[in-house]
Amino acid sequence: MQSQVPVLSPREEFRHGVGKAVPIMLGYVALAIAYGVLAREAGLTLWETMAMSTFVYAGASQFIATGMFAATMDPWTIIATTFLVNLRHILMSASLVRYVRRLRFFDLALLGTGITDETFALNSTEYAQRQRHHFFMYGTNLASYLAWNTGSLIGALSGTIVPGLDRLPLDFALPAMFISLLVVQVKDRLLLGTALIAGALSITGAMLVEGNWNIILATILAASIATGWERWKRSGSS
């Protein structure tokens, strides 16, 4: 439930959003450097490497697409694969719409392009705790976007200069960032149970279903189970 704390000015909300995004930015820079290095090694030019970060802006999809480019796979296969990987953003945007439903289409489009797993987790937590101006989300999304593109540029430029840079253990940042964001959101037994169920379903689905459908299916099933459990508890206590 949102607390009734007075909303700050748009400028202050934007600044708070940037400040809250600092941990995400640090993780994004490390991951994006790795992406930039791998993209150049896969044969992408500097402009192509940066275009993917600028217009696609989806870490998992960019890493997958880079590997597929390196394997010289069919362009339509790459497009279809990245589309499936990013389908989870539909669920994320649907979850956030209750906080920004009164905004203009232009604002909704800009905010929608900045949704990532990490910014979604941060924004959904912040907006659930207190009233927030949509400039807070602008600050979070823009800071994270700039960090990702900065890291991509560093990796793309240095990957061809510094030997062995691609072998640095930069991939630790993504799971570490997810774990920290998950811990922040788990505040009661219902949320803990939902997280555990989603994780178990996702792992099971990954072993049974090809592609990345396990993420979407686990999210839908875990959310449905948690919603049903919460409604059952309410009806039992009434």
Give tens-digit pLDDT for 74-127.
Answer: 888 888 878 877 877 888 888 898 898 888 989 998 999 999 988 998 999 899
**pLDDT on residue 171:** 55
**pLDDT on residue 163:** 62
Bridge partners (DSSP) listed for residue 3: 130
Query: 3-state DSSP: the chain helix, strand, coil percent, rounded to 5?
Result: 80, 0, 20
**pLDDT on residue 1:** 46
Q: Kindly list the averaged pLDDT for each block of 10 residues, start to end, along the chain of length 238.
A: 60 93 91 87 90 91 83 82 80 87 89 91 89 92 96 85 60 59 70 85 83 72 82 70
* Contact yes or no for 205/212 (Cβ under 8 A): no
**pLDDT on residue 170:** 55
* Contact yes or no for 29/144 (Cβ under 8 A): no
**pLDDT on residue 123:** 92
* Contact yes or no for 70/43 (Cβ under 8 A): yes
* Contact yes or no for 25/147 (Cβ under 8 A): yes
Residue linked to tokens 């941990």 = 23
**pLDDT on residue 43:** 87
Domain positions in the chain are 10-170, 186-238
Taking the model in full, what pTM does it have? 0.70
